[in-house]
Amino acid sequence: MKKILLFCSLFSAFHLFAQPSLTNVEVTLGTGNTMTITYDLAYPSNDLAKVTFRATERGGLIFGFDTSNATGDVGEGIASGMGRQIEWDYSAYAPIPDFRLMLVAELAPSVDIQALVEQVDSTRMSGDLTFLEGIRHRTAGAEHLQETKDFIELQFAEGGLEIAKQQFDFNGYQAENIIGRKIGTEEEGEVYIIDGHYDSVAGSPGADDNASGTAGMLEAMRILAPFGFKKTIRFIGFDLEEAGLVGSIEYVQNGIAQQENIAGVLNFEMIGYFTEVPNSQEVPLGFNLLFPAAQAKLEANQFRGDFVNVIGNGAASSLTDAYETAIENYVPQLNFISLEAPASWQTLTPDLGRSDHAPFWVAGVPALMLSDGANFRNPNYHGAGDTKDLVDFTFMHDVVQAAVATIAEVAGIQNAATWWTDTEFTTAVDEVAGCSFSISPNPAKDFLRLQWAGCQVGNFNIELLDINGRVIKNYLNRNGQNGQAQMVDVRGLEKGIYFIKVSDGEGQWARKVLVD
C-alpha cells in the first residue's frame, strides 16, 4: 500500500501576495430571526478590506438571498482585527431551517499573475506522480485505484474545496468522478473546469497517461485555491476515461446543474512527455490537409516533440486565445501548436476527441485538450514502459503554469480570502419527536406522503410553507404515538421549492421538498 504524501507547508508561499485571512468564524442564532457571524480578519498591509456577506439555502449553488440588511463589520473599509461581527435579520427567509453562508474579504491590490505562476512547483508534482504511478484499473489495479481516489479527495479537502463524488455503476464497478468546487464570489453560476482522468489501462503504470494530468490538475488547484475568484472553478478527477470517456460523459449528461453554465474546460491529457529528437512527433493521416499552418510549423521544427498541443472546438476560440496569451505573457519558453477541431471532428479527425474534453465538445461547451500528443509522440503509450523516469517535469511545470495563468484571468482572480459553511441550526425530527419520519416522493407532482412511527410526544403540527414563509397547508395536532401517514396535496401548486415544518411546541424540524 502506498503512503499518501502530505505537504503541510503548501500555502506558505502565498504570504508573498499580502492576502487577507478569515479565521475563527462562528455563527450563532439570536432572537427574532437574527444571526451573528463573528470572525477574525488579518492581512499584512495597512489597506482596508471589503467584506461581503452572502447567503442562500443550505447546500445551494447560487447565493441569491438578499443580505443588504446585514449590519456591523461588513462592506467597505473594514480594518483587520479580532472579533469582527456581522448581524443579519433573516426574517424574509424564516421558513428556511438552515443556510449556506459565505464571507469574502478582499483587498484592493490585484494579484501579480507572474508571481502566481512562479509558485508552480515541479518537485511537488514529482512527489504526486511518484504516489500516483502504478496500475489504476478497476480490475487489474483496484487497490491503487482506490488509493488514488482517496489521495485526490484529501488534496481537495486540504485546499478547502467543497467536495462531491458523482457515483455511478459501470458493469458492477462503483465509479466515481471526484469534484472539488472553489465557489465563486460574484458569478458563481459561471464555471471553469480543470480536469484530468486518474485511471489507467490494465497493463500500464500510467505515469504520463494520466498521472501527469492528475498531478497537474492538483498542482493548479493548490496554487489557485487560496484566492478568491469571481467565477466558480471546479477541479475534477474523471474516472473511466480509458473505458471510453465514461466518467466525463456521465458528468456532462447528469452532473451539470441547471443553474450553472460551463464557461470553459481545460483538460490535462498526458502532459509529461517531451523530446527534442527530430522526427519524434507523428501526426494523424490527413493532418497536413486539415491543418497546413501547424504542419508547416512542425516541418520547420523537424517534427520534434517539444511542444504542447492546445486543441479546442470552435466554441473555445476565446479560451484558446487566453491560453496562448498566458504562454506569451508568463511562460514564453513553452512551445505550443494550437488546433481548432472542425465541426465534423468525429468523422474527420476522431483522434482529436480521444479524451475527456470530447463530451463537452459534443454538448457545445468550450473545451481545450492540453496534451503532449499521446501515442503520436510517446512510444510507451498504454505500455509497461510508461514510467516516471520518462516524464519531463520542466515541461509539465510550464504547461501547468500556463493553465494557472489562464484560469486566473478568465475566472477573475481576487486578492481575497473566502469562507463558507452550511449551518446546522435545526434539530433532527427523531430528536424532536423521538420517532422516525419520512417524506416521499420528493420531488412530488400530486401528493406528498408524510409517514411517522414510534413518536414519544402526544401531538405535533405539520405545515407546508412556500419559499416566502407563507403557510400553504396546516395539519394541527397530529397524533405522534401511533404509526400514521399524512397525505399533503400539492396539485395546483407552482413548481419550485417548498418546506415541510414539524413542531411540537419545544422544537421544530424542517425539510426542503420540490414540487415538480
Q: Is 283 helix (H, G, I), strand (E, B) or coil?
A: coil
Q: Average pLDDT in the 484-493 region? A: 83
Residue 392 clears pLDDT 70, i.e. is over it: yes
In this chain, the answer to whether the domains covering 113-414 and 429-515 adopt an identical fold is no
Residue 7 clears pLDDT 60, i.e. is over it: no
Q: What is the pLDDT of residue 97?
A: 74
The correct CATH number of 113-414 out of 3.30.1240.10, 3.40.250.10, 3.40.630.10, 3.40.50.970 is: 3.40.630.10
Q: What is the pLDDT of residue 429?
A: 42
Residue 506 clears pLDDT 50, i.e. is over it: yes
- Give percent of the chain with pLDDT exceeding 90: 74
Q: What is the pLDDT of residue 98?
A: 86
The CATH code that applies to domain 19-108 is 2.60.40
CATH 2.60.40.1930 is the classification of domain 429-515: yes
Residue 481 clears pLDDT 80, i.e. is over it: no
* Rounded CA separation 499/465 (Å): 5
Cβ atoms within 10 Å of 8's Cβ, excluding its own: 7
Confidence tier at 482 by pLDDT (50, 70, 90): low
Residue 252 clears pLDDT 90, i.e. is over it: yes
Q: Average pLDDT in the 265-273 region? A: 99
Q: Average pLDDT in the 317-321 region? A: 99
Placement of cell 467597505 in the chain: 76
Residue of 504 and 4 predicted with greater confidence: 504
* Rounded CA separation 156/143 (Å): 20
Residue 208 clears pLDDT 70, i.e. is over it: yes
- Give percent of the chain with pLDDT exceeding 70: 89
Length of the chain: 516
Q: Average pLDDT in the 307-315 region? A: 98
Q: What is the pLDDT of residue 394?
A: 98
Confidence tier at 2 by pLDDT (50, 70, 90): very low
Confidence tier at 13 by pLDDT (50, 70, 90): very low
Q: Are 53 and 102 in contact (CB under 8 A)?
A: yes
CA angle (273, 276, 281) in 5-degree steps: 65
Q: Average pLDDT in the 357-365 region? A: 99
Q: Are 195 and 238 in contact (CB under 8 A)?
A: yes
Confidence tier at 12 by pLDDT (50, 70, 90): very low
Cis peptide before 441 (omega within 30 of 0): yes
Q: Are 217 and 234 in contact (CB under 8 A)?
A: no
Domain ranges of the chain: 19-108, 113-414, 429-515
Residue 37 clears pLDDT 90, i.e. is over it: yes
Least confident span in 34-48, 178-192, 328-342:
34-48
Confidence tier at 508 by pLDDT (50, 70, 90): low
Q: What is the pLDDT of residue 24?
A: 95
* Rounded CA separation 192/130 (Å): 28
Whole-number average pLDDT of the chain? 90
